[in-house]
Amino acid sequence: MKEESHKHHNHDHSSHDHESNDDHHENHNHDDHSGHSHHDHHKMMVEDFKFRFWWVLALTIPILALSPMIQDFLTVDWQFTGDIWILAALSSVVYFFGGWPFLSGLIDELKKKQPGMMTLIALAITVAYVYSTAVVFGFEGHLLYWELATLVGIMLLGHWVEMRSVMSASAALEKLAELLPGKANRVKDDGSTEEVPVEELKKGDKVLIKPGEKIPADGIVVKGESSVNEAMLTGESKPVTKTKDDEVIGGAVNEKGSLTIEINKTGDDSFLSQVMDLVKKAQDSKSKTQDLANRAAFWLTIVAISAGALTFIAWSLFTGQELSFTMNRTVTVMIIACPHALGLAIPLVVAVSTSIAASNGFLIRDRVAFEQARNLQSVIFDKTGTLTEGTFTVTDILNFNDNFSDDEILQYAASLETNSEHPIGKGILEKAGDGVKEPEEFNSLTGQGIEGKVDGKMVKVVSPGYVHENNFDYPKEEVEEISSQGKTVVFVVIEDELAGAVALGDEIRETSRNAIKRLHEMGLEVVMLTGDNQQTAEYVAKELDIDQVFAEVLPDQKADKVKEVQGQGKLVAMTGDGVNDAPALAQADIGIAIGAGSDGAVETGDVILVKNNPEDVVNLIRLSKATYSKMVQNLAWATGYNVIAIPLAAGVLFTWGIILSPAVGAVLMSASTVIVAINARLLKLD
């Protein structure tokens, strides 16, 4: 059994916030499915960084103008009595007001004994502020207030840009939150309607949905017919026709006719709530690559603090440089070593890939399993309802008698099946369509079929056994060939003459062929698991070019078959309908529940495919590979940048005139962060 990785933890991208006041990720209540708490939190953070940035920018202009080093650089003299105190006062506002997110972040990280990015930024600005303030009060050196102001401004700008990226990456979740309407037309006992808030709807309530309105909650159609657009929920682009007894999903849009539905799921039980919960869990769930990034960020923090200390000691003791130069080097090392791009590298990719997955109709429940999908070697498919449609469909009409047309044979059989609840009867009725008549008489032939009068004629729909017993003559080879394809054949007898036969099969999905072809192109083995007989299983396997078949497998034996494939040393995905395949899905390295639909068998698989489309398994693997590739690119950029930048910041190339100031260090660090954010946003599933 795979380890569960659905628990919450603090992402590095959220370490920007004031977690000392609001430990958001740890205390986030998953019972709140509105998504607004999460959204509003990030929105407030974005507005906070934006507000502080504009204030700091406004204050930075006079700070730069009053700084002696800037005046020397511009060869101007704007000094006046008391200017240094104004400079100190303005810089104090920048330090305490502009730097507050970083200072509070430092406190929070130290409380958790997890020094990281905020620790570094806070240390860098504190060193610059304390040193400059000491100079104001008589300590010999240069004022670094302008460095402090530019650093705080650039860091606030970088964080503002990052948090906007985090918000846009979570857009799929926010769109889901907006799907449900605010009000619904509840049908009263007397047939009239009353407008009520959606929150007041209870199980069993009847609701009228007019054309163009959104469906307020999951339910069953009790009256009316319409086409419903479920694209935002299921990814199915074509509107779906809904009639009496059909299920509808809350959030879908009713397009044409009016529908009256009976609510059967509200609140946390609804499909939309489950989808939103999955998206949240996926964005919060721990990934192995994330762990790697967190460990790297922690060690980089230790390295940065050590490098800062070494830089200070080396320049102080061995070069005789003045303290202001030494402090400049120390401050720059601590700024440039901030592993902010590293901390953002993985969470942003996670957020983007989760959104892409949701918009493509598959929902990631376990990020560790999702990341493993790129290394899959074998994909096991359940047959019925996964590779096939899972319903009996008329595939052939055999005509043994010139007195009847194919259509007549079908219509007579369908008329007799009018009241049948059997899957075969339903399949025949569906194929026949309109024109089916009610039988005048009806009788069941125990174990052999049914009989009755249709249009004054005695009609029987019977099994092969009945035909053999009564010695009817028919082309046996043709029937046997169809039977060998795993199809069920029923015979139609009209007025004691064998008129023909109707063959029904569980039709193979067209998307299954393409999915298996593409999996083979990716170098994966495809295995089929089914409870069907060997003959039927082998026919489907041959049609789909499947590598390995397990037939006549009982539900409780499916997990053992998954173990058998794993025993061959392969990383295995199991794809099934998420209900009777539960043990097998749990046993597999990656459990993929296909066609969960509004039943939302969300507790079964590591990944939930909303549509009954095996091609989504291919897309899942492709997205896993693309996501991992982006993570590696971001990690390489973030760590590679630090490896090069820290020695430059420390001044190892000072002899050759190459030196990085704290402001340039801050620009480069923010630039690397923005590049990592842009790179994450470029993740696509073509």
Domain count, the chain: 3
Same domain? For 165 and 40 the reply is: yes
Per-residue confidence band for 33, with pLDDT thresholds at 50, 70 and 90: very low
Same domain? For 412 and 484 the reply is: yes
Q: What is the pLDDT of residue 27?
A: 35
Specify the CATH number for the domain of residue 255. 2.70.150.10
Same domain? For 126 and 23 the reply is: yes
Residue range of the domain that includes 482: 390-507
Same domain? For 243 and 303 the reply is: no
Q: Say if 528 falls within a structural domain.
A: no
Q: What is the pLDDT of residue 325?
A: 79
Same domain? For 230 and 292 the reply is: no
Residue 292's alpha-carbon distances to 25, 296, 346, 347, in angstroms, are: 20, 6, 9, 12
Q: Lowest-pLDDT range, 412-416, 479-483, 665-669?
A: 665-669
User: In the predicted model, what is the mean pLDDT of the chain?
Assistant: 79
Q: What is the pLDDT of residue 331?
A: 74
Q: Lowest-pLDDT range, 8-12, 91-95, 414-418?
A: 8-12
Same domain? For 51 and 194 the reply is: no
Give the residue with greater pLDDT, 23 vs 165: 165
Per-residue confidence band for 516, with pLDDT thresholds at 50, 70 and 90: very high
Instruction: Answer yes or no: are the C-beta atoms of 254 and 212 closer than 8 Å.
Output: yes
In 350-366, which positions are buried (b, 16+ CB within 10 angstroms) versus exposed (e)?
bbbbbbbbbebbbbbbb
The secondary structure of 306-352, three-state, reads HHHHHHHHHHHHHCCCCHHHHHHHHHHHHHHCCCHHHHHHHHHHHHH
Same domain? For 17 and 111 the reply is: yes
Q: Say if 413 falls within a structural domain.
A: yes
Same domain? For 350 and 406 the reply is: no
Q: Say if 360 falls within a structural domain.
A: no
Q: Say if 609 falls within a structural domain.
A: no
Q: Which of 12, 218, 382, 577 is catalytic?
A: 382
Q: Is the pLDDT of residue 193 over 60?
A: yes
Q: Say if 112 falls within a structural domain.
A: yes
Per-residue confidence band for 68, with pLDDT thresholds at 50, 70 and 90: confident
Per-residue confidence band for 51, with pLDDT thresholds at 50, 70 and 90: very high
**Per-residue pLDDT tens over the stretch 605-632:** 788 887 778 999 999 999 999 999 998 8
Q: What is the pLDDT of residue 399?
A: 92
Residue 245's alpha-carbon distances to 189, 222, 248, 577, 669, in angstroms, are: 20, 6, 9, 22, 59
How far, in Å, CA of 376 to CA of 522, rounded? 10
Angle 359-363-367 (CA atoms, 0-180°, nearest 5)?
120
**Per-residue pLDDT tens over the stretch 54-65:** 999 999 999 989
Q: What is the pLDDT of residue 680?
A: 86
Give the residue with greater pLDDT, 599 vs 242: 242
Give the closest residue to 166 by CA, choosing from 399, 343, 377, 337.
343
Neighbours of 511 (CB within 10 A): 16
Token pair in block for residue 225: 């017919």
Residue 382 annotated in active site: yes
Q: Say if 369 falls within a structural domain.
A: no
Same domain? For 34 and 96 the reply is: yes
Q: Is the pLDDT of residue 155 over 80?
A: no
What would the mean pLDDT of 218-245 be, rounded to a whole number?
A: 77
Angle 224-226-231 (CA atoms, 0-180°, nearest 5)?
140
Q: Is the pLDDT of residue 237 over 50?
A: no
**Domain final residue, candidates 458, 492, 507:** 507
Same domain? For 29 and 99 the reply is: yes
Give the residue with greater pLDDT, 577 vs 501: 501
**Per-residue pLDDT tens over the stretch 429-454:** 888 887 788 888 888 877 778 899 99
Q: What percent of the chain lies above the pLDDT cut of 70?
A: 79
Neighbours of 23 (CB within 10 A): 15
Q: What is the pLDDT of residue 574?
A: 92
Specify the CATH number for the domain of residue 467. 3.40.1110.10
Same domain? For 99 and 211 the reply is: no
Q: What is the pLDDT of residue 18?
A: 37
Residues 6 or more apart in contact with residue 244 via CB below 8 angstroms? 221, 222, 223, 224, 225
The dihedral over CA atoms of 512, 516, 519, 525, expressed in degrees to the nearest 10, equals 130
Q: What is the pLDDT of residue 413?
A: 92
Per-residue confidence band for 367, with pLDDT thresholds at 50, 70 and 90: confident
**Per-residue pLDDT tens over the stretch 107-129:** 988 898 877 667 777 877 888 89
Q: Say if 346 falls within a structural domain.
A: yes
Same domain? For 350 and 398 the reply is: no
Q: Say if 489 falls within a structural domain.
A: yes
Q: What is the distance in angstroms between the CA of the first residue and the CA of the last residue of the chain?
A: 33
**Domain final residue, candidates 507, 541, 571:** 507
